Amino acid sequence: MYLALKSLHIALALTSIGLFGWRLWSSWQGRQQRTPYWMHGIDSLLLLSAGLLIWQAMPWPLPGWLQLKMVALLLYIVLAALTLRRTPGPAKALLSLACGLCIAAVLALARLKPF
Q: Which domain holds residue 57?
A: 2-111
Please give the tally of structural domains in the chain. 1
Check: CB of residue 53 under 8 Å from CB of residue 6.
yes
pLDDT at 8: 92
Instruction: Residue 108: count other Cβ atoms within 10 Å of its Cβ.
Output: 14
Model pLDDT for residues 76-110, shown as the tens digit of each residue = 888 888 887 777 788 878 888 888 888 888 888 88
Mean predicted lDDT score pLDDT of the chain? 83
CA atoms within 13 A on the CB side of 14: 5
Q: What is the DSSP annotation of 73-110?
A: HHHHHHHHHHHHHSPSSHHHHHHHHHHHHHHHHHHHHH
